[in-house]
Structure 1
Amino acid sequence: MKQEHVQPVPITGAVITVSTTRTQETDSSGKTIQAILAEAKIPVRHYAVIPDQIEAIRLELYQALKTCNCIIIDGGTGLTHDDCTIEAVTPLLEKKIDGFGELFRMKSFDEIGTSTMLSRAIAGTIRGRVVFCIPGSTPAVTLATKTLIVPEIAHILSHANK
């Protein structure tokens, strides 16, 4: 990345966990994302655990967009009948960041092999803010947040706000 492409952008994070079984107390993946963001000095201004329902996901995303410019949604990205995060978020994206999902799957392959093809991880922008949708397992959120999101978030937001 060329430093001249990165503008000083204040980054504020949101973590939304999509799950029918987790609560804020049992959400290890959401806590992991928050810890990685804190380590990177990115304040988390919004956190929620919500059910796998398109309207619930969209409502929570709209709330997060009011105060945050780096929204990470974990969970609901698989192929089961109730996984609907991708269906909820994709129509709202103004620009897709196809390379995010491609890189996530490439890096995941080293950890979990061919089952990485089941991941529908995506990212994109909405009104100059970036939204990442990632699988909800702790190894997946660690990989995505630590190796892809944190290193590139300032670069992505610089371009999204030109």
Structure 2
Amino acid sequence: MDRNDNEESSKYLHVEVITISDSKKAAMGEGRDEDKSGKIIQKKLEDAEISSNRVIISDDKAEISKELDKKIYNSEANAVITTGGTGIASRDKTVDVVSEFLDKRISGFGELLRWRSSEEVGGAAVLTRATAGIANQKLVFCLPGSPNSVKTGMDLIAYDLPEILKDIQ
């Protein structure tokens, strides 16, 4: 399949973007959208002619679970991309909650993202638990909250998303 075929099939794809951050949610409540990473995801998807919606939620296990349930089981989305909450701090719960939803893991995604990120930030790249998998026939990607990591991750995802989705459907 060449790039043109991917572009044609991407016109019918929709991705739900979930930013998970206490501070970004608080800023949004005050009328400020400080979600650089979510905006980067949407821009990369737009460039690949994939539609998207974005929400910002707190790093709260119940809130993450509720939002994932809506996006994975009760939406027309083909994929869900989260950003934030993938680190090792006690407040970082995204990967733990997402793991409860996954039918299959795509281990190579997190490994590749950490490897690519290590070229930029060195050994600190191993501190992310970024992951991917399949839940209810939808792709789910968990990206770190760092804008640079999101750019790296989206370079791995955006243009290949149509082809990956064909493999799971």
**Global fold match (TM > 0.5):** yes
Match of 1:148 among 156, 159, 163: 156
What is the CA distance between 1:150 and its match in structure 2? 1.0
- In the superposition, the TM-score normalised over structure 2's length comes to 0.86
Tell me how large the CA RMSD over aligned residues is: 1.7
Partners of 2:113 and 2:163 in 1: CA distance: 17
Letter in 2 for 1:90: S
Match of 2:78 among 41, 51, 69: 69
Letter in 2 for 1:149: I
Letter in 1 for 2:162: A
In the alignment, which residue of structure 2 is the partner of 1:139?
A: 148
Question: What is the percent sequence identity of the aligned residues?
Answer: 35
What is the CA distance between 1:8 and its match in structure 2? 4.2
In the alignment, which residue of structure 2 is the partner of 1:98?
A: 107
What is the CA distance between 1:151 and its match in structure 2? 2.8
Q: Does 1:49 align with 2:51?
A: no
* 1:89-119 deviations in Å (ceiling 9; x for gaps): 0121001101100110110011110000101
In the alignment, which residue of structure 1 is the partner of 2:37?
A: 29
Letter in 2 for 1:86: V
What is the CA distance between 1:54 and its match in structure 2? 1.4
Higher helix share: 2
Letter in 2 for 1:50: I
Q: Does 1:85 align with 2:94?
A: yes
Question: In the superposition, relative to structure 1, how do residues 63 and 41 fare at CA in structure 2: closer, same or farther (>3 Å)?
Answer: same
What is the CA distance between 1:20 and its match in structure 2? 0.6
Asked if the contact 2:48–2:159 (Cα under 8 Å) also holds between the matched residues in 1, the reply is no
Match of 2:126 among 117, 124, 133: 117
Q: Secondary structure at the match of 1:21?
A: helix
Structure 1 regions of 5+ residues with no counterpart?
none
Letter in 2 for 1:43: S
Partners of 1:67 and 1:58 in 2: CA distance: 18
